[in-house]
Chains A and B, each alone.
Chain A
Amino acid sequence: MSERITGGHRVFNRVAEEYDAARPHYPETLYQALEELSGVRLKGALVLDVGAGTGIATRGLLDRGARVVALDRGERMLAVLRGRTALDLQCRAVLGDGNALPFRDGVADLVVYAQAWHWLDRRASIAEAVRVLRPGGAVAGWWNIEDADKADWLAALEVRLAEACPAYVGPALPGWSMPPIAEAMAEAGLLVAQTWVEWTRSVSFFWRASSPTCARSRTSRRWTTGPWRSCSPGSARSWCGCSRTAGSPCRCGSIWRPDGRARRADAAARGSDAVADRTACGDAGLRGQGIRPGGHPDGADTRTAILAAARRAFAEKGFDNATIRGIAREAGVDPALVHHYFGTKAELFATAMRLPVDPREVAATVLAGPREEVGERLVRCVLGLIAEPETEERIVGAAALRDEQRPGARGDSRVLLGGGRR
């Protein structure tokens, strides 16, 4: 046996709690298939659950009326199992090795390896199972397998897992194969049957021990998806609320740049008129108000100046009392220019209160990274966005206006908070 196999039980034993949270349970159809293929009714049967871990299969078997002896080499795994499982006459938890079962001959109806047999010696384990089985009993192994061919994102996940964790092998990667339990059984003179029990499950089930747990428990992160891409304690605090250093990947998946120049260059290259009007967040791609640069003789941005003056005026005076003339004076431009750029007062109001957010760039940011962390990126993005003084001012400003101050008819609300895409 290789070192990996002999030391296998220690890998999961170190992270028993995370293992229990992250590993999926088995569906009813699995237990039905087990009964059908073995001819053994679980109700009342004595089942040895070898490599029981935290008892995921143990509890499934108990729920279906079996008496279960759960065996594992990991004391911490068994501690979790004992904590989670009602141990009574129907169930015993035993520290022991699947290659040398601590049981008498011919006592068990079933010996099962729930995603565990690959840790054992292929000959010794099956020989031991045969020894402790009663005549007519059966030995069974099963493995959860993602079908990466059926979902692109699953295939991509496999690739990321392999990149993050060099020792990882999985169903979508070359060189992966099912543990050869069927051959080992046949070599032991047993009659072998196989089946495939399909499932679909919500991704988050796999990742219940996802980001927050894993951020606290780097150990588990290391064996699930490799080291957490930490945001280094850095020189800046970004819109996503994440401290990081320039050029380093952020937890939200974006790359922070100190001045946002590269981002602006990108925008220009795309032929877009969206110009990031701030740096701290502009680099993260969430600024895109559609401001045209260079319209003002002294180089400042006329439109920006008008919009800023308009926001101040609307916030201080309300919609009715704010005037185009006053706003123009504040901005240092002719009132005709305000009309030229923004139309009526209601239209100016709508533009001024529009959130400086481009949906395409929000989407790009939220989608950049593993799908199993999309929830975290979305929450972080939204909280960061809303916490920007300018965004909050507009949301709260819009909310604070009384009905009579609100311009136009119904439907303006959608303009007020609509995105900045033009």
Chain B
Amino acid sequence: MSNDQVLAAIHEFFSEVVAGEVASALGIPPLRLEAAISQMVGIVLIRHILRVEPMASAQVDELVDLLAPTIQRYLGGLAVGGIRLVLASSNPGI
């Protein structure tokens, strides 16, 4: 397989097998999902196919610590809320 086919296959693996149902369950917009997938595709390429150090022999826990906040930022939902502002003055103008 050529390089782009390998990448396409890995990408497909993530978008269909790993992330597809997760994204639809969480209502993650396509661009955010794609951003998360791009990280994971890159990791698999560097770690398992090109085997570039120090990525190839890094511990899973170490990588989880490093990557999870970024992936979380992409996949996190939107919190809805507000700020209750209560204000008082002796000034009759307010």
- Interface on A for B, CB 8 Å cutoff? 26-27, 30, 33-34, 37-39, 130, 133, 135-147, 150-151, 153-154, 171, 178, 181-182, 185-186, 188-208, 210-212, 215, 240-241, 355, 357, 359-360, 362-363, 366-367, 371-376, 378-387, 392, 395-396, 398-399, 401-403, 406, 413-414, 416-419
Contacts and interface: CB of A to CB of B under 8 A. Distances in A.
B69 A210 contact: yes
Given A376-B68, A398-B9, A199 B76 contact: no
Q: Is the interface of B mostly helix, strand, loop or mixed?
A: helix
Given A196-B82, A241-B60, A359-B18, A395 B1 contact: no
Contact of B12 (A215, A381, A418): A418
Nearest to A142: B85
10 contacts: A142-B83, A145-B82, A195-B85, A197-B82, A212-B65, A362-B17, A367-B25, A375-B69, A379-B71, A396-B48
A387 B48 CA distance: 8
Contacts of A386: 44, 47-48
B93 interface: yes
B85 A194 contact: yes
A146 B80 contact: yes
A75 to B, nearest CB: 28
Contact of A418 (B16, B47, B67, B83): B16
Interface string B66-94: 11111111111111111111111111111
A50 to B, nearest CB: 14
Nearest to B68: A376
B61 interface: yes
B65 to A, nearest CB: 4
Contacts of A138: 87-89, 91, 94
3 closest A-B pairs by CB = A375-B72, A241-B60, A363-B21
Contact of A382 (B14, B25, B49): B14
Contacts of B14: 382
Interface residues of B, number: 61
Given A210-B69, A367-B25, A417-B12, A395 B48 contact: yes
B85 A34 contact: yes
Interface of B: 1-2, 5-6, 8-10, 12-14, 16-22, 25-26, 36, 40, 43-44, 47-49, 59-61, 63-94
Given A143-B83, A392-B48, A204 B69 contact: yes
Nearest to A195: B85
A374 B90 CA distance: 49
Given A193-B88, A398-B9, A413-B9, A375 B76 contact: yes
B17 A379 contact: no
Contact of A413 (B5, B70, B84, B87): B5
A387 B44 CA distance: 10
B82 A199 contact: yes
Contacts of B21: 359-360, 362-363
